Chains A and B, each alone.
Chain A
Amino acid sequence: MNDRSPVFTRRHFLRTTLLGGAMTWTVPSFVQRTFGAMSASAADSAVQIQTGRDGRILVLLQLAGGNDGLNTVVPYANDHYHRLRPQLRVPESGVLPLNDEIGFHPSLKGMRALFDEGELGIVQGVGYPNPNRSHFRSTEIWATASDARRTEPDGWLGRFFDNHCDGSDPAPAISLTSETPQTFASAHPRVVSFTDPSEMTAGDDDEDLQNPMTGASISGISGGTSFAASGSQEDFLRRTALDARLSSDAIQSILARSKRNASFPPSKLGRDLQTVARLIAGGMTTRVYYVSQGGYDTHAGQAGTHDRLLADLDSAVRAFAGALRDGGNLDRVVLMTFSEFGRRVAENGSAGTDHGAAAPLFMLGGSAKGGIHGPHPRLDELFQGDLVHHTDFRMVYAAVLEEWLGVQSAPILRDRFQPAPLFGVRAG
């Protein structure tokens, strides 16, 4: 290790003064390991960190609010579609045909190009039995990979890290959201959330880390039980404070190695995917990234809003794929979109759509197979006015876990789901 690295010096200070002392137990070990890898690489920044260069990466892109799948992948040749969507239908002349039945919304030109290049897979008819039409409950079901009739506290990726990150994997997850998604919830969450990398700047003053809240537990005042919420709030805050100090330097120094790229749109999604691309290019050892685009809850006046959202999604994803390809990273990154539900097939009286059920999702990059997976859900066999799924989202998760992240899916999904055939062998 190179003691002259400025990053290292401060970390070294932290470790000797804090981590080596009574507070060791409060430091999330993944942060230490990440930092260890960082220091090692700082010795010769021309050499990529092994784990960073070799690791496979998953990027989850949430379309929050319930994307209207029907107007995203449009069954333009279907009469029922045009009948049930008198105002909101995308006319046949506007769609970007993918075959003689379905086509992309006109905003998705870049995604269409990726599809033509064989990089983009479209998984149709994804959902789950007994669909729940609450944003929050359905998001929770997707996050925890639970049955609609069961509540799970932990997220599916939280369980992935719990099962497969003990010891050797140095990579935490990064979520570019203001709240940590439940997807990562676990007894020992390994996720760092931030909304803007420039916010991850710790002051120079390390003295507050020495503040004497070490052994002091507020349970002193309460005399309460060991599970007193007050005591654990303190632990949680101290842990996060330390996380912040340690990960902020890692993130800043990784970002410093990779330039901005003008091809990303100036939207929040564009900025976030650009940050992810730069962290990947810089050799961050993170295995899972999470970004979110909001605004899909189009109950009224849907058309213009949905056009803009998809155009933003399209240009951000296109730029992301381009940046990864330019850096030689596209083969080791899979991006997967998801939304808590699709929308009602029939439009409502306010030129919008209410909450629905099954919808398509996209898989991009890595060894994800391009093309169309599965048929479009039938428009003449609706349940409560909604499309019926044929692919359980946990079959998609199983494929990601087994074929991409290389782990057994059953212990994580708590059940055996047949992996959807979404991945193939990739040359190289």
Chain B
Amino acid sequence: MFNIPMERLSERLWNLDAAAHLLRRAGFGVSAEEIFELAPLGVRSAVDRVVESILSAASPDLPEGVQPLPVPAFFGRMKDLGEDERRAMQREAQMEARRQTLELREWWLRLMADPVRGAREKLTLFWHGHFASGVRKVRGPHLMLRQNVLLRNMGAGSFVDLTKAVARDPAMLVYLDGARSRSGQPNENFARELMELFTLGEGVYTEVDIAEAARAFTGFRVIPLTGEVVFDPRLHDDGPKKLFGPGRVRSGDDVIDAIVARSECAGFMARKLWQFYVSDVADERGVRDLASILRSTEFAIDETLRRLFESRAFYAPEALRAKIKSPVEWLVGLSRTFGIDIAGRRSLQLLDRLGQSLFEPPNVRGWVGGRSWITPSTLLLRQNAAVEFLERALDPETCAAWAGDPSDGTAAIAERLIFRAFCGPVPEDETAGLVGIFSGMVQAGVDSAPKKFLLHLAKTPRFQLN
């Protein structure tokens, strides 16, 4: 138990360690320089700056090659085609979808690695895992792009507005079959996951609530060629629906309003935000306090994050380095911390194998996170890949510059490198052990010892923690 209140951290407790923690959690790893820049500001100004960076980041240029696929346009002509021609066209369309998906993923990775966008993209990644949709079922990478833009544009605003927008987002309508749900025989998929995974959590609604909510969400269609959403009143069930016992609703928006009005919704969202930003293990008091902040801000995400980032609980000893980096955090962190470019095909393949393919979460629950990221094989992959990336991209002279003046002595040099690799200080006894390793390297006359030492640090268990 943290057992630390959500009140603001006193300025006197703010220090380098706190600044580093804030930057690591709000974004994706940082350079040592950024930590030193933020630390003197104090908690209020530092958090202001981070939240401001979420709100003010300009809309990014969109990836040019991600466009509606030509496939549906073929359908009219396909009847006239022979089997072989049809196959060839389908294959071509599949390859194009695959190419676009890779472009989309690379584009997003680059945004995440951009220092001024880090916090905004981290929040967008939270929503991607929350309102999970996958490109394989959705089929159109351009629809996934559109959803990504939606999550970025609305992610810091009202959760209620965001949920209503997601309910008519074309990728979501395809992913959870809302686009094929019609009056009379509604499809329950979206209604069920909306309550179970997006807003309330399992077990606080009945099967009747799901069937009734499913009726309310009927009527949307997605135009195959353009991905435009149209609402067709003839497919919509306009009758009153019984929701949560005595309640009566009509539209999908009514359903969402009724859901958010239940006390479980704030608790559920608080738990998810806590596990994403604070600790893999939810702390009951922390979650309860965060839930009341969500209610008091009427689910304004920017204000909620500001209060969270300013809180004593956020900087609790139990929260420091308590989260296992997700594969994306690990990879983008490598890039940000060591200033190397990671947005290549090799990285995308690696993310697939590490279990976090962007735009293709494992299922509608998104990524479970925490310890589930780490298995013997994913840990080996991380270690081998970190060495591979850094070996190739790290310039020994840069490493030497990071190491600083040799006359400072091996301990001071090792500490600087440790601070850089781990984006902040680590406990003294651990530092001492690592300094010992570096001294050993220097004494043994190892060539480019600073670079070798950084490679070593990037392989440690510590490097997997945020």
A237 touching B464 by the CB < 8 A rule? yes
Q: CB of B280 within 8 A of chain A?
A: yes
The smallest beta-carbon distance between B466 and chain A, in angstroms, is 10
Residues 352-404 of A at the B interface (beta carbon under 8 Å): 352, 354-355, 384
B368 touching A350 by the CB < 8 A rule? no
- Residues of A near B379 (CB, < 8 A) are 237, 240-241, 244
The smallest beta-carbon distance between A396 and chain B, in angstroms, is 24
A220 touching B363 by the CB < 8 A rule? no
Number of residues from A at the complex interface, CB < 8 A: 68
- Residues of A near B376 (CB, < 8 A) are 192-194, 200, 240, 243-244, 247-248
Instruction: Please tell me which one of the listed residues A203, A211, A247 contacts residue B433 in the complex, with CB atoms under 8 A apart.
Output: A211
Q: CB of A212 within 8 A of chain B?
A: yes
Give a binary string over B445-466; 1 marks a CB under 8 Å from any A CB, 0 the rest.
0000000000010011110110
A215 to B177, CA, bound (A): 52
A300 to B377, CA, bound (A): 35
Q: CB of B337 within 8 A of chain A?
A: no
- Residues of A near B465 (CB, < 8 A) are 230, 233-234, 237
Q: CB of A236 within 8 A of chain B?
A: yes
Instruction: Please tell me which one of the listed residues A199, A217, A220, A349 contacts residue B381 in the complex, with CB atoms under 8 A apart.
Output: A199
Number of residues from B at the complex interface, CB < 8 A: 68
- Residues of A near B207 (CB, < 8 A) are 133, 384
Interface-central residue, A211, A224, A234, A294, by most chain B CB under 10 Å: A211
B461 touching A234 by the CB < 8 A rule? yes
Give a binary string over B292-325; 1 marks a CB under 8 Å from any A CB, 0 the rest.
0000000000000000000000001111111110
Interface-central residue, A180, A297, A299, by most chain B CB under 10 Å: A299
A25 to B364, CA, bound (A): 39
Task: Tell whether A193 pairs with B321 under 8 Å between CB atoms, given A237-B465, A350-B180.
Answer: no
A179 touching B368 by the CB < 8 A rule? yes
Instruction: Please tell me which one of the listed residues B17, B187, B353 contacts residue A299 in the complex, with CB atoms under 8 A apart.
Output: B187
When C-beta atoms are compared, the residue in chain A nearest to B218 turns out to be: A349
When C-beta atoms are compared, the residue in chain B nearest to A198 turns out to be: B377
- Residues of B near A236 (CB, < 8 A) are 371, 374
A300 to B186, CA, bound (A): 11
- Residues of A near B176 (CB, < 8 A) are 299
Identify whether the interface residues of A are mostly helix, strand, loop, or mixed: loop
Task: Tell whether A348 pairs with B353 under 8 Å between CB atoms, given A178-B375, A237-B464, A238-B461.
Answer: no
Residues 152-206 of A at the B interface (beta carbon under 8 Å): 178-180, 192-196, 199-203, 205
B320 touching A213 by the CB < 8 A rule? no
Give a binary string over A214-225; 1 marks a CB under 8 Å from any B CB, 0 the rest.
111111111111
Q: CB of A256 within 8 A of chain B?
A: no
Task: Name the 6 nearest CB pairs between A and B, nearest first.
Answer: A212-B433, A349-B185, A222-B317, A350-B180, A194-B377, A244-B376
28 contacts between A and B (CB under 8 A): A65-B363, A132-B202, A133-B210, A134-B196, A134-B202, A136-B202, A179-B355, A192-B375, A194-B376, A195-B377, A199-B378, A199-B381, A200-B377, A207-B456, A212-B436, A215-B429, A216-B430, A218-B321, A218-B427, A221-B426, A228-B322, A229-B281, A233-B322, A294-B363, A299-B188, A348-B185, A349-B185, A349-B187
